[in-house]
Structure 1
Amino acid sequence: MLLSRLTMRGFTLLELMVVIAIISILASLSAPTFTRQISKAKLIEAQNLATQHQSLTEEFILLYGYFPSTSDFNLIKRTLPEDSIVKSITVDNQSDSTGNILLKLNSNTGITEDQYIQYTRDADRNWICTSDLDANILPVQCKSIAGEDE
């Protein structure tokens, strides 16, 4: 009897079920955090593109004295990579040295198609970031306008 008990090693079905239940609970608690972190990581690319285009716009304003028109901006803007989170980059509301750079986003984890990040240059040469993304995935300097219309 002692020999047979020593040779039979392994887990009981109950022990396996308890371990699987614990892993399932931990996974369900951490999934939203992982989704949010993936979204934030993807938005870093959008921030980098926005920073590049802010610099290009600032250089254009220094050279010509006014915010670039849509046709001027199309001449100076960078080409987007095929797999980019950013769908398009445009300018609007141009007036003298003020205007907006609008980045429309592709759908991705936590991001819906055509959500946007907008950088507005004011008369004091400050860039203000607003977006319709949820505040919990936006960069710290951006303000979310999601839910303000409701």
Structure 2
Amino acid sequence: MKNMQKGFTLIELMIVVAIIAILAAIAIPAYQDYITRSQFAESQTIADGMKTPVQEFVAAKGTCPTNSEAGSAILPAASYEGKYVAKAESAGTADAQGGGCTITVTFKGTGSVSTPLAAKTAVFKAANAGGAYTWTCTSEVPNKYLPQVCRQ
């Protein structure tokens, strides 16, 4: 009677290891890009929290608020921080009726966020289109990490 083979041969095991290595080589960079994009999304969330108070301030006073301006609903920059965002500040032009107000979000340094975001900024700029504000986004972060609305 013939002996039946039990277990895997060395070649079969090497093929499985090679397949896993190829999958990991593709998956790890894609996952790192995904993590960076999700970290960037925090800047949008924080900026969204500042947009309405900025628009209300402009409607009331006709100028863009700063984070420290009296009568502004904008809190100090340190109040607008998150897990990946160091600070967010409001600024702009004296005549804000045509737009010009900006919200600048600065990411934390290396070690707190993915390397492509470390100490970089995202700028959200308002444009007044007849009382309805539209916000555009620009950033020094490479396009592949940005959401579609921020890509140039």
TM-score (normalised: structure 2): 0.78
Aligned match of 2:104: 102
In structure 1, C-alpha distance between the alignment counterparts of 2:7 and 2:95, rounded to whole Å: 76
Aligned match of 1:131: 139
**Conserved? CA contact 2:102–2:124, under 8 Å:** yes
Q: Which of these residues, 101, 106, 117, is aligned with residue 112 of structure 1?
A: 117
In structure 1, C-alpha distance between the alignment counterparts of 2:89 and 2:126, rounded to whole Å: 14
**Conserved? CA contact 1:69–1:94, under 8 Å:** no
Aligned match of 1:28: 25
- Which amino acid is the alignment partner of residue 111 of structure 1? P
Q: Which of these residues, 49, 53, 64, is aligned with residue 52 of structure 1?
A: 49
TM-score (normalised: structure 1): 0.79
Structure number with the bigger relative contact order (C-alpha 8 A, sep ≥ 6) is 2
**Conserved? CA contact 1:68–1:94, under 8 Å:** no
Structure 1 runs not aligned, ≥5 long: 145-150
- Which amino acid is the alignment partner of residue 121 of structure 1? A
In structure 2, C-alpha distance between the alignment counterparts of 1:141 and 1:12, rounded to whole Å: 52
CA positional deviation for 1:61: 1.8
CA positional deviation for 1:51: 0.9
In structure 2, C-alpha distance between the alignment counterparts of 1:15 and 1:110, rounded to whole Å: 39
CA RMSD after TM alignment: 2.4
In structure 2, C-alpha distance between the alignment counterparts of 1:58 and 1:20, rounded to whole Å: 57
Aligned match of 2:127: 122
CA positional deviation for 1:112: 3.5
Aligned match of 2:84: 85
Structure 2 runs not aligned, ≥5 long: none
Report the 3-state secondary structure (helix = DSSP H, G, I; strand = E; otherwise coil) of the residue aligned with 1:103.
Answer: strand
Aligned match of 1:147: none
